[in-house]
Amino acid sequence: MRNIKVNGDRLWQSLMEMAKIGATEKGGVCRLALTDEDKAARDLYVEWCEAAGCTVRVDEMGNIFARRPGKDDSLPPICTGSHIDSQPTGGKYDGIFGVLAGLEVVRTLNDLNYETNAPIEISAWTNEEGSRFAPAMVGSGVFCGEFSLAEGLAGEDREGNTIGAELKRIGYDGDMKCAPRPLGAFFEAHIEQGPILEAEQKTIGVVQGVQGIRWYEIEVTGMDAHAGTTPMERRKDAMVGVARMVGEAHRIGEAAMPDGRTTIGYMEVSPNSTNVIPGKVFFRADIRHPDAGLLDGMENEYRAACEKIAGDLGLGLEFKRIWYSEPVIFDAACVGAVQDAADALGLANRPITSGAGHDAVYVSRIAPTAMIFIPCADGISHNETEEATPADLAAGCDVLLNAMVARANE
């Protein structure tokens, strides 16, 4: 069976219904991992999967697996999926499109009364964003062996709540073992989160791989003091040091253009009072590049710059790398299945490298993997104004459906 298409209206309706959970004033969503909003979205998704005839299981990390049987249920499943959690001011397509696209694949196969040789499985991975619990992609990371189960469950937010305790609180501490198992293939559909497809008027990005990502936790320590009585020359202002470190991060990113990326997006200032000189600042840095060697150079340069700034200002410095997602090249056969499906459907497409990390990065370690991108308006993501069209969402899901069916029937 070739060139079959999903019910685009149903996919859109599902996305809009899901977007009501954690909805924000500007049209986005806030569904931080393992909050009540995440639980409500999970519950609705599980309800829909069961209504579609899937068997649903939850593993020890709260990853949700919905399975549609195949003619030969002993074959490794052909899988798809993404995540339900969002950024604090996230959009209504990031992650959840990949999950609900998988559900729409199952619904369409049901409509057609079509049975694939291998089973079809949809995964919703826990804490992909890493916003509440750093680092990112923890659920898929434990599943694929990047982190131990103990490490995954022990992850803490800034209030001291652990992933394990929050899974129990919301009822998603499953009994299925969270460990690698045979998968026939894995496909992840996602908005591009960048401007290339829209600018080039391409409907489908055939993702070749993902660039390397490193996260750092950095703490700068000075001395709290009165803002009005402490002379400028006698201050040990942690924020002044951090401001210079932010500038250095931006300079290093610019020097690594067009492929390099540096971002400082999280910061805590202590004591965080208008008339007190900051004595301590904690922040996280995000550095990215598709070339591992050049990424090494960016890290070394940034660490040295931070050490020099701290030394010049008499500040204490703790600089720790907390996460490294290595550059990835996806499986040629799976990438080919995406390319073939896009071409057969007559959809304008181009090869593309992902600048963002995805659960597919870790899954690629244990199974043949590929990704499908669709355009998003102005390339905006991790933002409440994130937008995609119903037509593009349906087209991406059509490619996903045909690629999965092709692999499931090999």
Q: Cα–Cα distance between 259 and 289 in angstroms, integer?
A: 6
Token pair of 129, please? 């964003």
- The full set of domain ranges for the chain reads 8-211+327-408, 213-325
Strands (DSSP E) found in 84-224: 120-125, 185-191, 204-210, 212-221
| Predicted confidence band of residue 1 (pLDDT cuts 50, 70, 90) | confident
| Predicted confidence band of residue 181 (pLDDT cuts 50, 70, 90) | very high
The owner of tokens 């002379």 is 231
Q: Which pLDDT tens digit goes with each residue over 192-221? A: 999 999 999 999 999 999 999 999 999 999
Span 113-131, average pLDDT: 97
Averaged pLDDT of the chain: 97
Q: Cα–Cα distance between 248 and 239 in angstroms, integer?
A: 14
Q: Cα–Cα distance between 100 and 159 in angstroms, integer?
A: 31
Contacts (Cβ under 8 Å, ≥6 apart) of 267: 242, 281, 282, 283, 284
Token pair of 189, please? 């559909």
Token pair of 203, please? 């409907």
Judged against a pLDDT cut of 90, whether residue 103 lies above it is answered with yes
Judged against a pLDDT cut of 80, whether residue 249 lies above it is answered with yes
Give this prediction's pTM: 0.87
Q: CATH top-level class for 8-211+327-408? A: alpha beta
Q: Which pLDDT tens digit goes with each residue over 9-64? A: 999 999 999 999 999 999 999 999 999 999 999 999 999 999 999 999 999 999 99
CATH architecture of 213-325: 2-Layer Sandwich (3.30)
| Predicted confidence band of residue 104 (pLDDT cuts 50, 70, 90) | very high
Judged against a pLDDT cut of 80, whether residue 290 lies above it is answered with yes
385: DSSP letter: T
Token pair of 226, please? 């009165």
| Predicted confidence band of residue 2 (pLDDT cuts 50, 70, 90) | confident
Q: Which pLDDT tens digit goes with each residue over 308-342? A: 999 999 999 999 999 998 899 999 999 999 999 99
- 46: exposed, middle or buried (C-beta count within 10 Å: 0-12, 13-18, 19+)? middle
Token pair of 315, please? 């500040």
Span 233-244, average pLDDT: 98
